[in-house]
């Protein structure tokens, strides 16, 4: 949570945080969005100064043309025009990198920033390396770069009440889109084993995705893409689906949808459907996936290490004879991925419930929101199954499911 930042900065010896917001990155720059929220600020620099154990001061350097949107952030505002960048570039003989370093020197002097400063935000690797290297050589601050589990990522692992409310809303709206999509499929008649449109042509994955995008827009959700994969493609976990594939009865459909609301917070929900009927093999596999799903949800707590949940899932699946990623990192059939992950402004955030040592091993803390998404995948047999729900660990350490759309496998047609 943002309220943790002063303590995190003190513990890590950081006197200030700088979050860079290069133009054109938008929602991809989630460290920047973490502070700007729903305000439409396309560029700028955020400076967070450590004041003490429980307070900090946040400043937003912004373009004058975005002054009204900048004001919506609640941060203290600094107009970039104060620094007359064309003059600085001229003084630096046209060297724009040197001019950017000089801009930072003047800004830090005005804001009283000194000491050890951490840098965050999204930019191209080359630009970031060149800028931070030049800034480090200038030696007016000590440039800190944290490889993983940095201060902002650590704060973002846990969500405050407002963030939880936004993710609840994203989940509710997304479940509405899931329901509309199921109804859309049911409205189509079958010709043989294939759903057809009014013009008699086969209904395709591309047709369904176009419908999903329209429903997301109508619900006020920003499309982040989705997985709508049928048959063999459903057996490859991150296959988005082949647009020309026809929608056929009895085949598994993995529908994984993760849009975001204004302000940038995502939902992340997956359902697996078979239209009309499912084979006995798919039904058995589905029951095993749901056994893992329900068994894990029943034991979520704040004591177990995150990798223990992955081990529990592997124990159950291996007991049924399925290969797992624990046995072989290259496994392509069976249980082939980690059990779940945190999310918020990014669709994949810490903490992760994967193999021991692959990520930071830690218990789930109050405030985390995490997915629970076991699956079984057999592309060679033409099917895949995944069911994903979202769970919040409340301040009392109890886990609440934020998603409630029914998990039925067979969709009656």
CATH of residue 120's domain is 3.40.350.10
Confirm if 84 and 91 have CB atoms less than 8 A apart. Answer: no
Q: 254 and 126, same structural domain?
A: no
Tell me phi and psi for residue 266, to 5 degrees.
-95, 165
Q: 275 and 359, same structural domain?
A: yes
Q: Give the residue, 54 or 217, on which the prediction is more confident.
A: 217
Q: 327 and 236, same structural domain?
A: yes
Helix (H) or strand (E) holding 375: strand 375-378
Residue 213: band (very low, low, confident or very high) from pLDDT cuts 50, 70, 90: very high
Confidence check: pLDDT of 53 > 60 = no
97 CB-near residues (< 8 Å, 6+ apart): 130, 131, 134
Average pLDDT estimate for 146-162 = 93
Average pLDDT estimate for 309-314 = 98
Q: 191 and 132, same structural domain?
A: no
Mean pLDDT (the chain) is 95
Q: 119 and 198, same structural domain?
A: no
Q: 168 and 114, same structural domain?
A: no
Tell me what pLDDT residue 22 has.
85
First-to-last C-alpha distance (Å) of the chain = 45
**Domain ends where: 122, 156, 190?**
156
Average pLDDT estimate for 149-153 = 92
Q: 256 and 118, same structural domain?
A: no
Q: Give the residue, 328 or 56, on which the prediction is more confident.
A: 328
Domain count, the chain: 2
Tell me what pLDDT residue 55 has.
64
Structural domain boundaries, residue 104: 2-156
The 10s digit of each residue's pLDDT in 97-107 is 999 999 999 99
- The C-alpha atoms of residue 366 and residue 4 are separated, in whole angstroms, by 13
The 10s digit of each residue's pLDDT in 350-391 is 999 999 988 888 999 999 999 999 999 999 999 999 999 999
Q: 334 and 399, same structural domain?
A: yes
Q: 196 and 129, same structural domain?
A: no
Q: Percent of the chain scored above 70 by pLDDT?
A: 99
- The C-alpha atoms of residue 350 and residue 327 are separated, in whole angstroms, by 24
The 10s digit of each residue's pLDDT in 258-277 is 999 988 999 999 999 999 99
Q: 210 and 174, same structural domain?
A: yes
**Domain ends where: 107, 125, 156?**
156
Average pLDDT estimate for 330-352 = 96
Average pLDDT estimate for 253-262 = 96
Confidence check: pLDDT of 28 > 90 = no
**Domain ends where: 100, 122, 156?**
156
Confidence check: pLDDT of 56 > 80 = no
Average pLDDT estimate for 279-301 = 98
Look at the pTM and tell me if it is higher than 0.85: yes
- The C-alpha atoms of residue 375 and residue 286 are separated, in whole angstroms, by 8
């Amino acid at each position: 949570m943002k309220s943790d930042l002063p303590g995190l900065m003190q513990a890590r010896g950081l006197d200030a945080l700088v979050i860079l917001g290069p133009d054109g990155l938008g929602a991809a720059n989630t460290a920047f969005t973490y502070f700007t929220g729903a305000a439409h600020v396309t560029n700028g620099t955020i400076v967070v100064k450590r004041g003490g154990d429980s307070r900090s001061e946040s400043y937003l350097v912004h373009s004058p043309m975005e002054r009204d949107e900048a004001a919506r952030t609640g941060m203290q505002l600094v107009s970039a025009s104060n620094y007359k960048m064309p003059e600085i570039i001229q003084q630096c003989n046209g060297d724009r990198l040197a001019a950017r370093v000089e801009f930072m020197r003047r800004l830090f002097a005005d804001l009283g920033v000194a000491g050890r400063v951490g840098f965050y935000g999204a930019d191209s690797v080359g630009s970031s390396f060149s800028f931070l290297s030049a800034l480090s050589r200038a030696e007016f601050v000590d440039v800190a770069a944290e490889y993983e589990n940095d201060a902002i990522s650590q704060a973002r692992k846990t969500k405050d009440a407002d963030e939880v409310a936004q993710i609840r809303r994203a989940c509710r709206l997304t479940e509405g889109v899931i329901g509309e999509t199921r109804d859309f499929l049911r409205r189509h008649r079958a010709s043989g084993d294939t759903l057809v449109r009014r013009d008699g042509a086969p209904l395709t994955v591309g047709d369904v995705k176009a419908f999903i995008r329209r429903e997301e827009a109508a619900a006020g959700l920003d499309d982040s893409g989705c997985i709508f994969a049928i048959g063999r493609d459903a057996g490859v976990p991150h296959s988005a689906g082949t647009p020309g594939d026809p929608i056929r009865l009895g085949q598994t459909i993995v529908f994984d949808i993760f849009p975001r609301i204004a302000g940038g917070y995502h939902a992340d929900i997956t359902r697996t459907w078979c239209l009309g009927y499912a084979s006995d093999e798919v039904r058995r596999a589905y029951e095993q996936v749901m056994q893992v799903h329900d068994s894990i949800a029943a034991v979520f707590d704040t004591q177990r290490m995150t990798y223990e949940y992955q081990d529990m899932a592997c124990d159950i699946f291996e007991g049924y004879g399925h290969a797992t990623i624990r046995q072989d990192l290259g496994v392509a059939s069976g249980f082939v991925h980690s059990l779940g992950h945190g999310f918020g402004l990014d669709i994949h955030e810490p903490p992760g419930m994967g193999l021991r040592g692959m990520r930071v091993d830690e218990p789930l803390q109050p405030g985390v929101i995490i997915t629970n998404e076991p699956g079984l995948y057999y592309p060679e047999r033409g099917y895949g199954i995944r069911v994903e729900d979202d769970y919040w660990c409340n301040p009392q350490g109890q886990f609440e499911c934020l998603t409630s759309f029914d998990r039925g496998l067979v969709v009656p047609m």
